[in-house]
Each structure stands twice: as C-alpha cells, then as structure tokens.
C-alpha cells in the first residue's frame, strides 16, 4: 500500500492513536476522575481529528490503491461514528459547489441571532439534521445511479452500526461514554467549523468568502485545515500543500482581516466578548430572507472527481 503523499503517514498514526486510546479507556479506565476526564477529552479530540482526516481523504485519497482507500474509509468511519461517504452530498456536492446559497445545507444564514454563542448552539444540531435528511435523499437516488458509491456507503454505515451494537451489548455505559460521546463531539466540531470559516464573510467575493486560521499550532494539529480559502479554490489539493499555496494564491488578494493569526483569540472575541455577530470588517451581518433548503440530486456523471475520491480512486 503506497501513500500518495508521505505526509499522510501522520494521518494514519493519528488514527491508530485514536483506537489505542479508546481501547485503553474501554479495557482499563482509570479510577481517578481527573485522569479519566482528561483522557476522555483527548479521545474526543482524536475523534474530531478522525473527522478532519476524513474530510481530507474525500478530497485527496491517501493511497494509490483504490482497494486500500476503500478499506481506509471504513476504518475512518469508526473514528468519528459516521460513514465517510456521507461527506459527498453534504460537503463536496452541496457546500463546495453552492457555498452559502439555498443549495448549501451548511450555510451559516440558517441561524439568525445577534449573539454568536446562541448561533453556534443552534447551528450544529440544525445543520446536522439537514445533512442527515439530504444524505438520505441522495443515498436513495444513488442506489441505481451510482452503485459503487452506494455499496461503499452501505458497508461503512453498517460497519459503524454493527460495532456500536456489539459495544452496547458488552457494556452500554462504556459504549455511551467512550464511543458515542466522543463521536458526537467530533460531529459537533466538524460541523461547527463551517460557522467559523464562513459567517460574516463575503460570499460574492472571489477570495473574501472564507476565513482562514493561519496559526502554526492549530494547523499542525488539524492538518492545515485552517487554510480554508485555498481549500475552496482547489479542493483536491493535498492538505500538506495548502500553506504554500495560500501564501501564493490567496493572501495577495485577500482582505488581511480574514487571515486570523490566533484562533483562540478569535473564539474569545467571537463567542465571549464582545460576542456580537459582525462581518469581518466590523459591520452588522445583514441576513437574507429565511429560506428552506433546495432539494437537489446531482447527476453523478457530471461530477466524477467528487464521487471518484469517495470511491477510493
């Protein structure tokens, strides 16, 4: 099994660490509550990183072998509790192609409060439900339109379900605490990032449509997912190449206020104090009329690059 990019060795090690930590908590959870809580937080973070790696994988497959990529997708599905293939309708074909429009099921204008903390609390469950509805419609259509994708989706979904059922039968309390709860945190994190990266930006501008977090630490931890503008410009570009590409292709044309050097400072400013919903240039966010999601089923033959990645190409 040959890696397409050697940097993905770190992705694979991260996945192994997640499973090792989860197994340790299951087999021998510490009696000390502080240590137990600390380990749970670490496992939840690694589950979230599994979702980040999943996001990277659907855009740029890890292995040169299609079969190896399909197996990896099943493994990654277990790291954050959802089928990897479900990223296709909600992320690749909805968010990337129709950012912040009625066809984007993850658009931030779904929440409409003045305070960002309230918006975030509503955004994740509301978008999560919309994604599940969209996934169900898309999956039903792909049963006959794209059988390879549908088959892979079913394998991933039922593998996650089977493992969850077995763990629940063994010990439902441990299953909820060490398996389900970290997965819920991972889902919250990967969906919530969309609010951070797009709310208050200019969706009509060729560069100012996304907020970038350019700090070295956060990008090392999240596999350069802070460089969101460049990712939208070239979704298939491998994550290890994003920093250099951002400097060359995005930064010269981007409003500098959309390059956030410190993510923690941004989070405090956005959700704690002053915590008001504002555009990147300090204006009040003017929301369009509230609308419902547009139902759509894209023709998979028109998007081979998006479906090819998820099929392990």
pLDDT confidence of residue 307: 47
pLDDT confidence of residue 181: 98
Q: Residue 310 pLDDT more than 80?
A: no
pLDDT confidence of residue 88: 84
CB 61 within 8 A of CB 69: yes
CB 57 within 8 A of CB 72: yes
pLDDT confidence of residue 298: 58
More confident position, 215 or 97 = 215
pLDDT confidence of residue 293: 85
Q: In the Cβ-directed half-sphere of 98, how many Cα atoms lie within 13 Å?
A: 16
CB 83 within 8 A of CB 153: yes
pLDDT confidence of residue 155: 97
Mean pLDDT of 123-145: 90
Query: What's the pLDDT band for 297 if we cut at 50, 70, 90?
Result: low
Q: 74-99 pLDDT, tens per residue?
A: 999 999 999 999 888 888 888 888 89
Whether a cis peptide bond, with omega within 30° of 0, leads into 274 is yes
Q: 141-198 pLDDT, tens per residue?
A: 888 888 999 999 999 999 999 999 999 999 999 999 999 999 999 999 999 999 999 9
| Cα distance between residue 252 and residue 258, in whole Å | 12
What's the predicted TM-score (pTM) here? Answer: 0.93
More confident position, 142 or 23 = 23
SS3 (DSSP) at 111? coil
């Amino acid at each position: 099994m040959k890696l397409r990019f050697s940097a993905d060795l770190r992705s694979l090690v991260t996945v192994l660490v997640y499973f090792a930590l989860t197994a340790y908590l299951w087999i021998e959870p510490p009696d000390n509550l502080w240590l137990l809580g600390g380990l749970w937080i670490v496992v939840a973070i690694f589950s979230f990183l599994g979702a980040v790696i999943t996001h990277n994988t659907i855009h740029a497959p890890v292995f040169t072998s299609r079969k190896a990529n399909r197996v990896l997708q099943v493994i990654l599905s277990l790291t954050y509790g959802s089928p990897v293939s479900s990223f296709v309708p909600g992320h690749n074909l909805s968010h990337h192609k129709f950012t912040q429009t009625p066809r984007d099921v993850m658009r931030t204008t779904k929440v409409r409060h003045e305070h960002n903390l309230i918006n975030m609390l509503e955004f994740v469950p509301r978008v999560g439900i919309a994604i599940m509805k969209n996934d169900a419609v898309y999956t039903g259509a792909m049963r006959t339109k794209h059988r390879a994708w549908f088959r892979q989706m079913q394998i991933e979904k039922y593998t996650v379900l089977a493992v969850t059922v077995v763990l629940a039968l063994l010990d439902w309390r441990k299953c909820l605490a060490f398996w389900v709860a970290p997965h819920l945190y991972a889902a919250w994190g990967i969906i919530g990032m969309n609010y951070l990266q797009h709310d208050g930006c200019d969706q009509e501008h060729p560069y100012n449509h996304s907020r970038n977090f350019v700090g070295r630490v956060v990008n090392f931890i999240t596999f350069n997912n802070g460089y969101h503008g460049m990712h939208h410009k070239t979704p298939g570009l491998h994550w290890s190449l994003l920093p250099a590409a951002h400097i060359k292709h995005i930064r010269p044309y981007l409003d500098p206020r959309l390059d956030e050097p410190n993510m923690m400072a941004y989070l405090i400013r956005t959700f704690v104090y002053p915590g008001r919903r504002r555009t990147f240039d300090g204006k009040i966010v003017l929301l369009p009329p509230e609308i419902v999601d547009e139902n759509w089923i894209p023709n998979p033959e028109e998007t081979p690059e998006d479906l090819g990645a998820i099929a392990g190409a």
